[in-house]
Amino acid sequence: MLIAVGAVLAPNDGMADAAITALVDKGGMNNIRDNIFITGQDAIKLGTDHIIDGAQKMTVYKPDSVAGRIAVLMARTLIEQPDILPSDMEKAVAGIRDELIEASGILDLEFKMDTEQYRPFVNGKPVNTLLVTPVSITKQNVSLVPGAVSSKK
């Protein structure tokens, strides 16, 4: 039984690659480029290569360098100031924004402190969380990802 596929919203670029491989076997690369919208996540080299060649339309970029630097800063800040307010933690992270931009290459890097969305099942109290806005990577901005080569000349 043949099933028509119009889109694949894969949770990561590796699974997007598996979908691309299976779909190429069934209909060829041109069919994918022209008719099937495939996305991934993590902006790994495999995903950005597929974006450049047109098989994958986008990936989600959440730079590990940003998450790592924020985690270290937050851990140090919590050790020094265990009772810090979420708004003050957000200000501390804002203080290293230039460093985060340099590490990620994302000029419009955005983040915000969320004090309501995440609630554990045990006590129902919110978990203060710093959310970093991910970046949608397409053929037009693939050069933002370190190691990717833009197809635009």
Residue 151 in this model has a pLDDT that exceeds 60:
no
Give me 122's structure tokens.
Answer: 């045990």
- Quickly tell me which residue has 């000349």 as its tokens: 153
Could you count the other beta carbons within 10 Å of the beta carbon of residue 98?
10
Q: Cα 48 to the chain's mean position, in Å?
A: 12
Would you call 130 helix, strand, or coil by DSSP?
strand
* 3-class secondary-structure state, position 61: strand
Domain spans of the chain, in order of start = 7-61, 64-134
Q: What is the pTM of this model?
A: 0.77
The per-residue pLDDT for range 67-124, each reduced to its tens digit, is 899 999 999 999 999 999 989 999 999 999 888 888 887 878 888 888 888 777 667 7
Q: Are the beta carbons of 114 and 92 closer than 8 angstroms? A: no
